[in-house]
Structure 1
């Protein structure tokens, strides 16, 4: 299946926190959208591989995703090397997205920035015809998306572009809350973590409100770009 928009996320729930409003908005516009989770989040303090997978499935239904896969690389210890790059190349070539959204350029969680570099390098390699890959025994064709953006996660990064998600904010929070073991679950017999405190989810909402304010909207999601962005019509900007 060819997708219009593909999100690359190192942990299940990264896409929900960073760009689920944008995902939901584009699906409502008729775009085909999918997520590739790199790891199973197995190093997370709360929950298990099994619960995290079930939560990702529930969240995918809330967002209305057309595809979601997990390539099961090692949480916390993966490297930006040939082996891992080729795994990501296979997914980019499989879904042939026009636009890719990836993890933040840098963040308090070291996996995020490292995954962003891995995604960026793999996307470049995906466009080279002399980098052979096969999926299910079939040779893949080179593919490079026309635009790659990075969503903003926990560390404040000044965005290059902000998407208005005012109408999608409620559904975004629902998608995040699908990860019940990870966020704001007072009854769970598991240790409290940085992201499980009620204040963390409130900070996500506050960030979205701050982003929205910058473009005259109630809520927004910010993205960075490694290259200058262009537009055909100045009246498309606000």
Structure 2
């Protein structure tokens, strides 16, 4: 079965961008893992202890195989050799065939840096005669999920139907109370934003809810019957 690694800058980004898709992929039998490059702290309403409880609960609800949270600095994440090697170690350990990364255009520097670090780490992970622990591994595909701080209209390479998974996706998002639900007004804004976005992309493929994914390369199909 295909192994998948979804990489995010902070705990909650993967869930917000592709939480419904992870639920679907897990239900279909895929081995799904999450890697967060930082613990997401400091934030106005959070702490390291609070955030850890949140990501542990979210991971349980998603049903993923594992979650790794690196010690890179929140807010000041930078693409450098050290960061690339840390991500490459995880890639070699998990050995995914598919990587999911944040969409490459974003107002948040940590999101942009996460994608740059992870793209380079994918290359580093395949190198022989290197000091990176583990056996060489090269994920064959990268897809990009939308968790941008810009109000973007993107043209997806594909959209995954998450109509059956959407309500649970919202439940998981609300687990991150320190970020998304520290008061009623905040949760109303977050939940309505997630709903509107996923309804829009779902409408494009004639379903209730969808999550968009982008790619630098063309996406091929083995069987045209998979098209909605």
5 Å-filtered alignment, 1:1-238, equals 4-134=3-133, 140-154=134-148, 155=150, 156=152, 157-186=154-183, 196=186, 198-238=188-228
Deviations 1:159-196 (A, max 9, x none): 21110000000111111111111113327xxxx8xxx3
Deviation of 1:95 after TM superposition, in Å, equals: 0.2
Cα distance in structure 2, aligned partners of 1:228 and 1:10: 26
State how far apart, in whole Å, the 1-side matches of 2:204 and 2:75 are: 34
Give SS of 1:181's match.
helix
TM-score by length of 1: 0.90
CA–CA distance in structure 2, aligned partners of residues 43 and 109 of structure 1: 15
Displacement of 1:60 in angstroms is 0.6
Aligned CA RMSD, in angstroms, stands at 1.6
In terms of fraction of residues, the more helix-rich structure is: 2
TM-score, normalised to structure 2's length? 0.93
Contact 2:157 2:213 in 1 (8 A): yes
Q: Deviations over 1:190-226 (max 9, x none)?
A: xx8xxx3521221111000001011111100011112
Given that 1:162 and 1:223 are in contact with CA atoms closer than 8 Å, whether structure 2 keeps it comes out as yes
Q: Residue 115 of structure 1: SS of its match in structure 2?
A: helix
In 2: Cα distance, 1:112 partner to 1:234 partner = 34
Q: Which runs of 5+ in 1 are unaligned?
A: 135-139
Deviation at 1:103, TM superposition (A): 1.3
Kept after mapping to 1: 8 A contact 2:78/2:110: no
**Contact 2:45-2:182 at 8 Å conserved across structures:** no
Q: Choose 22-31 or 106-115, whichever is displaced more.
A: 106-115
Q: CA deviation at 1:234?
A: 2.0
Equivalent pair of 2:4/2:33 in contact (CA under 8 Å): yes
Runs of 5+ consecutive residues of structure 2 not aligned to the other structure: none
